[in-house]
Amino acid sequence: MNSRLLIATVALATAGLATAPVAMAYQAGDIVLRGGIAKAEVTDDIGSLDVVGELEVSDERGMAYSVGYLFSDRLGVELNGTEAVEHRLSTAALGGVDRLPVNLMINYYPMGGSVSRIQPYVGAGLNYTHFSEEELEGLDVDKSYGLAGQVGLEMAVTHYLLVGAFARYANVDADVSIGGTALGEADIDPMTLGGGATFRF
């Protein structure tokens, strides 16, 4: 399932619930748990390495998660990410590498406190990305820190269960070396699109 089909499926599912007499309002003290499937699309699919030239990085999908807490009706904090996914590096037979992203976000809920079936949100924060399991012996992809942002839209199924979709972007620039020799910087900058279920407590 590609990312467009994934988002379309979630959109159709939420649209089918539009006539249901269910509404909810985010409130201070709410705990929000989200889970689903996401696909990371690497920006332009290209990075650059000083020694080996252009680097092609594959798009991949995996399970997504988040846990959040609302300080007020409209503002909350969220920790989110995906499972470690393996990206293929096509240049110079570099093989593959696992990428594990974690984002710490401050979210704004414009409908917070309003009783509505539809609850959008936007967020901004910091990304930490850990790379591991490099296939090529001696290859090392360094960890990355950068800015991150997201937008999402959820629709209430019950007072405590919602379904929705999201898009996340992170600035991921990682130094790459082989056997201690620097090759340059890989510009990954993934756009992650996904959807799933949200539980509100």
Q: Which of 55, 53, 49, 81 is nearest to 67 (CA)?
A: 81
17 pLDDT more than 50? no
Distances (CA, A) of 95 to 87, 90, 137: 9, 7, 10
Q: Which residue has the higher pLDDT, 6 or 177?
A: 177
Highest mean pLDDT among 41-55, 58-72, 158-172: 158-172
Structural domains of the chain sorted by starting position, each given as residue range(s) with its CATH number in brackets? 3-18+29-200 (2.40.160.20)
Beta bridge partners of 165: 153, 195
Cβ-in-10-Å burial (0-12, 13-18, 19+) of 158 comes to exposed
Q: Which of 3, 44, 9 is nearest to 192 (CA)?
A: 3
Q: Contact at 8 Å (CB) between 54 and 89?
A: no
Strand intervals (E) in the chain: 31-42, 46-49, 53-56, 60-70, 75-82, 85-89, 95-108, 118-132, 139-141, 144-156, 161-170, 173-178, 181-187, 190-200
What pLDDT, in 10s, does the model give residues 168-192? 999 998 888 888 777 777 788 889 9
Greatest C-alpha distance within the chain: 62
9 pLDDT more than 80? no
33 pLDDT more than 60? yes
What pLDDT, in 10s, does the model give residues 91-140? 556 677 888 899 999 999 998 878 888 999 999 999 999 988 777 777 88
Label residue 58 by pLDDT band (50, 70, 90): low
Which percentage of the chain shows pLDDT scores above 90? 45
What pLDDT, in 10s, does the model give residues 70-87? 999 999 999 999 887 766
45 pLDDT more than 50? no
pTM for the structure as a whole: 0.79
Lowest mean pLDDT among 1-15, 20-34, 70-84, 101-115: 1-15
